[in-house]
């Protein structure tokens, strides 16, 4: 894997510049987690990030994830998965991937599991989230399907997006809170205007606006799901003022519920969206120090 270090963050993505930038950002985060560079080493997290970059068409990430499968590196060894990923990368001219196909085959022509959408969107979710979605009326389940579809386009985990939408409104596009938060993602008028939502009761507009805000929050708080969720509930200003999840009963319960659904502390983020909050420069070293001591 040493040969990969110099090329993962610079490998060309056969796509538009924005897509390329997202893929490179994800690949850089994956590389850091794989080798423990500036963050705790976490091969499972690295594989997840490589997968997201691979879905954006990055051949280096397709190769890196294939290598992890081929060598049982943080994942259960699976030559078919490896071969399918190597085949994708080789089709884009990746020479190392083409050579690896001699050992793994091409995966029988199947699509690698991480590249599939649709039915697998709840794979990382808690059973409670899945059961709650399945118990919704048909019209609300249709809203959940729309949340999944739009989450993919906004580079947000469908599980996180569903957790937010379910907690906010139970997928009700007509919901209005006592604080005048509206629709599926419960946008207050200021947030709706900020993210160009003209009709907060139109499900697609509302979900797009909410996901745009969530994507911004994830970048602002460097992928920390608890902080992003707290800010979605109480505002980013409150999170900065308390330098963490505010001590509001509603917000504490909200964050706890989201984290129970998502079951992962961090989320990939696009660093080009916004500069991180100033509090992150002090919170991150503390987290790393605690990790190093454990």
pLDDT of residue 126: 52
pTM beyond 0.75: the answer is no
Residues 155 and 65 in one domain: no
pLDDT of residue 53: 84
CATH of the domain at 240: 1.10.530.10
Domain boundary among 84, 115, 146: 115
Domain that holds residue 65: 2-115
pLDDT of residue 57: 81
Alpha helices in the chain (DSSP H): 17-35, 43-55, 59-71, 79-91, 95-104, 127-134, 138-153, 158-169, 189-194, 203-220, 225-234, 236-242, 249-262, 280-293
Residues 137 and 166 in one domain: yes
Residues 133 and 111 in one domain: no
**Phi, psi angle pair for 187, to nearest 5°:** -85, 130
Number of domains in the chain: 2
Residues 99 and 139 in one domain: no
Residues 101 and 147 in one domain: no
Residues 56 and 135 in one domain: no
Residues 245 and 122 in one domain: yes
Residues 27 and 135 in one domain: no
**Phi, psi angle pair for 102, to nearest 5°:** -65, -25
pLDDT of residue 118: 37
Q: Identify the bridge partners of residue 187 per DSSP, sorted by sequence position.
A: 182
Which residues, 6+ apart, have CB-to-CB distance to 13 below 8 Å? Answer: 19, 20, 23, 24, 56, 57, 58, 59
Active site residues: 168
Q: pLDDT means per 10 residues in the chain (294 residues)?
A: 32 50 82 88 89 85 93 89 89 91 81 52 55 86 89 86 96 96 98 97 98 97 95 97 96 95 85 92 55 39
Residues 194 and 279 in one domain: yes
Dihedral (C-alpha) 61, 65, 71, 76: value to the nearest 10 degrees? 170
Domain boundary among 69, 99, 115: 115
């Amino acid at each position: 894997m040493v040969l990969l270090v110099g090329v993962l963050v610079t490998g060309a993505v056969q796509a538009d510049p924005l897509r390329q930038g997202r893929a490179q950002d994800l690949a850089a985060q994956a590389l850091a987690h794989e080798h423990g560079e500036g963050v705790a080493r976490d091969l499972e997290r690295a594989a997840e990030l490589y997968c997201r970059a691979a879905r954006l068409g990055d051949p280096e990430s397709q190769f890196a994830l294939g290598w992890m499968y081929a060598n049982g590196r943080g994942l259960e060894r699976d030559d078919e998965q490896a071969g399918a990923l190597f085949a994708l990368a080789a089709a884009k001219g990746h020479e190392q991937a083409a050579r690896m196909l001699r050992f793994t085959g091409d995966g029988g022509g199947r699509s690698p599991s991480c590249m599939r959408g649709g039915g697998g969107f709840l794979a990382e979710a808690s059973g409670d989230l899945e059961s709650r979605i399945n118990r919704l009326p048909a019209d609300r389940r249709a809203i959940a399907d729309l949340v999944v579809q739009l989450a993919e386009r906004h580079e947000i985990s469908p599980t996180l997006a569903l957790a937010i939408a379910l907690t906010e409104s139970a997928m009700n596009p007509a919901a209005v809170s006592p604080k005048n938060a509206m629709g599926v993602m419960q946008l207050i008028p200021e947030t709706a205007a900020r993210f160009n939502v003209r009709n907060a009761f139109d499900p697609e507009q509302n979900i797009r606006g909410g996901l745009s805000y969530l994507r911004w929050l994830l970048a602002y708080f460097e992928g920390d799901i608890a902080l992003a969720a707290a800010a979605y509930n109480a505002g980013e200003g409150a999170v900065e003022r308390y330098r963490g999840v505010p001590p509001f009963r509603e917000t504490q319960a909200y964050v706890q519920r989201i984290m129970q659904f998502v079951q992962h502390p961090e989320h990939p983020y696009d660093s080009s969206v916004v500069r991180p909050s100033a509090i992150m420069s002090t919170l991150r070293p503390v987290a790393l120090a605690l990790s190093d001591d454990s």
